[in-house]
Amino acid sequence: MIYFVGAGPGAKDLITVRGMKLISQADCIIYAGSLVNSELLEYAKPDCSVYDSAGMTLEEVIDVMVSAEKQALVTIRLHTGDPSLYGAIQEQIDILKEHELDFQVVPGVSAFSAAAAALSVEYTLPGVSQSLIISRTAGRTAVPEKEAIQSLSTHQTSMALFLSAGLLDKLSAELIEGGYAPETAAAIVYKASWPDELVVRTTVADLVQAGEENNIGSTAMVLVGDFLDSAYERSQLYHPSFSHGFRKATETGK
């Protein structure tokens, strides 16, 4: 069996219990060494074969998986954060299907969650924003035209941007062109949950300066939106005057 496992954002104890147990049973681990914390390999058996996919092609990764399957080994493909986001798992899954090999995906804590945790913020504040846009600026991987940052910005909702910390000048210009006021709150979270985590609060207009001053060029999330600094309404769910399936409203509403 081949398991695609989300390694979480970095901290060794932010992998799921299921993911950690699978690592401890694995005979073969292929991990994305550029971003996955190598401390996670400490959970592995001493005789587990370990491959760093940073220097491998898709074909080489598949070859390792196919040969491990022939030996009936337990293989783990360890991806950073949650594998469903910018993980390039689909192309691996489709080839494994062609080979009729069994696989399973185990989710992980994504960097967008770790970044919000580092800032102690909530993306979905009542009265401010009830949606989160997860996207990226176009880099070497193109972004479909209708998803350009300028278009997404028209929603003025909370945004969590991956793979964009090296393109802050472009990002800042596109956000403003799309309609965000230059003074809209923004934050850069570098290596969320790692020992050298860095949290920088800034504005959409000052993103470039904030990145330069703190020497941030990669492995960072950029968060944008009023959820970072706005007054909000308290939740209905926990309001004394609000009844729901598990609680009756008090008469006074207090």
Q: Decide: is 225 part of the binding site for ligand SAH (CB under 6 A).
A: no
User: Which one of 49-57, 186-194, 205-213, 231-239 is the stretch in contact with ligand SAH (CB under 6 A)?
Assistant: 186-194
Mask: binding to ligand SAH, 116-155, rule CB under 6 A, as x and -?
Answer: ----------------------------------------
Shorter beta-carbon distance to ligand SAH: residue 77 or 191? 191
Task: Please state, in angstroms and rounded to a whole number, the distance separating the CA atoms of residues 169 and 181.
Answer: 16
How many residues bind to ligand SAH according to rule CB under 6 A?
25
Q: Decide: is 111 part of the binding site for ligand SAH (CB under 6 A).
A: yes
Q: Nearest distance from residue 17's CB to ligand SAH, in Å? A: 18
Q: Decide: is 203 part of the binding site for ligand SAH (CB under 6 A).
A: no
Candidate residues 3, 4, 15, 82; the one interacting with ligand SAH per rule CB under 6 A: 82
Q: Decide: is 92 part of the binding site for ligand SAH (CB under 6 A).
A: no
Q: Nearest distance from residue 170's CB to ligand SAH, in Å? A: 15
Task: Please state, in angstroms and rounded to a whole number, the distance separating the CA atoms of residues 154 and 164.
Answer: 19
User: Which one of 39-47, 85-93, 198-206, 229-237 is the stretch in contact with ligand SAH (CB under 6 A)?
Assistant: 85-93
Shorter beta-carbon distance to ligand SAH: residue 22 or 223? 223
Task: Please state, in angstroms and rounded to a whole number, the distance separating the CA atoms of residues 242 and 254.
Answer: 10
Q: Decide: is 80 part of the binding site for ligand SAH (CB under 6 A).
A: yes
Residues in the site for ligand SAH, rule: CB under 6 A? 9-10, 35, 79-82, 85-87, 110-111, 114-115, 162-163, 189, 191-194, 218-221
